[in-house]
Copies of this chain bind each other. A is one copy, B any other.
Amino acid sequence: MELIEKAKKAKKASAILSATTTEEKNAALNTIADELINHKDFILSKNELDIQNGKETGLSSALIDRLTLTEKRINDIAEGLNQVAKLKDPVGEKIESWERPNGLQITSVRVPLGVVGMIYEARPNVTVDAAGLCLKTGNAVILRGSSSAIESNKALVTIIHQALEKTALPADAVQLIEDTSREAASAMFKLNDYLDVLIPRGGAGLIKTVVNNSTVPVLETGAGNCHVYIDESAEKQMAIDIAVNAKTQRPSVCNAIETLLIHKRWADAHLGDVVKDLQTNGVACLGDDYVVQHATDVKKATEEDWATEFLDNTIAIKVVNDVEEAIEHINDYGTKHSEAIVSENEGNVKRFFQAVDAAALYHNASTRFTDGFEFGFGAEIGISTQKLHARGPMGLKALTTNKYVIEGTGQIRE
Q: Contact residues of A with B, CB < 8 Å?
A: 15, 18-19, 98, 100, 104, 106, 113-114, 192, 196-197, 211-212, 215, 217-219, 235, 238, 241-242, 245-246, 249, 331, 353-355, 357-366, 368-370, 374-376, 386-389, 391-392, 401-414
Contacts and interface: CB of A to CB of B under 8 A. Distances in A.
B219 A211 contact: no
A357 B407 contact: no
A309 B374 CA distance: 48
A368 B408 CA distance: 12
A403 B374 contact: no
Contact of A217 (B196, B386, B412): B386
A392 B365 contact: no
A404 B405 CA distance: 30
Nearest to A196: B387
A363 B217 contact: no
Given A192-B211, A391-B401, 8 more contacts: A18-B354, A18-B355, A197-B388, A242-B412, A364-B409, A369-B411, A374-B413, A392-B404
B406 A368 contact: no
Contact of A406 (B331, B365, B413): B365
Contact of A413 (B211, B245, B401): B245
A405 to B, nearest CB: 5
B249 A412 contact: yes
Contact of A368 (B235, B331, B413): B413
A408 B15 contact: no
B386 A403 contact: no
B362 A406 contact: yes
A364 B392 CA distance: 40
B354 A19 contact: yes
A235 B409 CA distance: 11
Contacts of A369: 104, 406, 411, 413
A218 B364 CA distance: 36
A365 B197 contact: no
Nearest to A409: B364
B365 A405 contact: no
A129 to B, nearest CB: 21
A391 B403 contact: yes
A391 B106 CA distance: 14
A94 to B, nearest CB: 13
B401 A388 contact: yes
Contacts of A235: 410
B359 A404 contact: yes
Q: Which 7 A-B pairs have the closest CB atoms?
A: A365-B408, A245-B412, A368-B413, A387-B401, A388-B389, A389-B389, A238-B410
A352 to B, nearest CB: 9
Contacts of A355: 15, 18-19
A370 to B, nearest CB: 8
Given A212-B215, A391-B401, A374 B197 contact: no
Contacts of A362: 406, 408
B375 A106 contact: yes
B365 A114 contact: no
A198 to B, nearest CB: 10
Contacts of A361: 403-406
B366 A241 contact: no
Contacts of A388: 113, 196-197, 217, 219, 388-389, 401
Contacts of A365: 104, 406-412
Given A215-B211, A388-B197, A406 B100 contact: no
